[in-house]
Amino acid sequence: MRTLAVLMVLGLAWGAATGPGTVQAAGEATVRIASPSALLMEAVSGRVLWEKDADRRASPASVTKLMTLFLAYEALAEGRVSLDDRVVASEAAASLGGTQIWLYPGEEMPFRDILLAVAVGSANDAAVALAEHVAGSEEAFVALMNRRAEELGLGDTRFANCHGLDAEDHYTSTRDVARLSRELVLRFPQVLELTSQYLAYVRQHLGPDHTELANRNRLVRFYPGADGLKTGWTRQAGYCVAVTACREGTRLIVVVMASASRTQRDTDARILLNYGFGNFAAVPAATRGEVVSGVPVRLGVRERVELVAADHFGAVVPRGKQRDVQRVLMIPDYLTAPVRSGSAVGELALYLDGKELGRVALLAGADVPALTWSTLFVKLVRMILR
């Protein structure tokens, strides 16, 4: 079966993606930050552009709530909960300390407001109420958190609760937080509609007695393009942040952990964002499940099958080189039925100056059963009667 390679230069002003050792920014300056652990990632490709001790384990504080939000959006996507659900606050939720919206036992609040209180206000009581509503208990929800962390390959992460207050056997790493942030943003970009808000309100039915939520992520107000994600602080964790910002189609994720102060944390995050936007650009090529191409099918009930990307795919290149990226589509001239949905059919690759930046598998988007004698006869009759 012959392979067709189609080369198309991407004339996009979007920008591109690569990783450590493959991205070289012309005249790049040395990056210095004070925080002990940090990482800069381009979101679409997932490539790391800069890092410092990114695998050290640390207490995540309220950055924990990124997984809480992730599981909440999964439950919404699967129809297990809805934004209009009435969440009833338990004694356990209402008694939790730290940042809160002062839920009282038995209080009912729409799931959408509970979600907002977690995403913007970082409310610990709302996080527990959310967990209990989704999984039946916080313990069951934490089990889901750890299972999902394992499935996502977060090998340096372990959760003991859904809110982030210091606890034994509750830890993560800067790299794992960046990976989780990327998965959250790419799978559920609607989360940014919440995390980008600097001020929000719940209990609005109470009129002037409504509860104001103030976002502790000052970057969403003061850094152009920043629209998420989560800050955290405890005595054990220090000051932490997972921040994402988008400019001209390039989305960056920065994670800073264990800073000595909020000012240091925010300053280091700004330094890394400025470095990323100043030196690199992203070239998105495909999103997970996006139709990239199609292939004719012989002897099938359908004459053509769409090919979809197996994962989010793009590249990062030095700023100014994004127009030089080449798109290489490698697919067969045709397939012969039967074709099974999800089977690997071809690949899409990106190249710059003759060097491969990466590739993604292309999967059959649907089943195409083979023609039977009866379906073949019907098809022949239809062709004759045309």
Structure tokens at 264: 């240091």
Task: Name the active-site residue from 35, 59, 90, 122.
Answer: 122
N residues, the chain = 386
| DSSP labels, 240-289 | EEEEEEEETTEEEEEEEEEESSHHHHHHHHHHHHHHHHHHEEEEEEE-TT
Active site annotation includes 230: no
3-state secondary structure of 372: coil
- Of 164, 140, 209, nearest in space to 62 by CA: 164
| 122 given a catalytic annotation | yes
Q: Which of 45, 59, 65, 181 is catalytic?
A: 65
Grouping H, G, I as helix, E, B as strand and the rest as coil, residue 330 is strand
Among 45, 59, 62, 173, the active-site one is 62
Contact of 202 with 116, CB cutoff 8 Å: yes
Question: Where are any strands of DSSP class E within the chain?
Answer: 3-9, 37-42, 48-52, 57-58, 86-88, 108-110, 172-173, 199-202, 211-214, 226-234, 238-247, 250-259, 280-286, 291-298, 304-309, 313-318, 326-332, 335-336, 344-352, 355-364
Side chain identity at 57, as an amino acid letter? R
In the residue annotation, 65 being an active-site residue is answered as: yes
Cβ-based neighbour number of residue 16 at 10 Å: 33
Q: For residue 40, what are its two tokens?
A: 């800069």
CA distance 109 to 201: 12
CB atoms within 10 A of CB 176: 25
From the CB of residue 261, how many other CB atoms can be counted at a distance below 10 Å?
Answer: 13
Question: So which residues are the catalytic ones?
Answer: 62, 65, 122
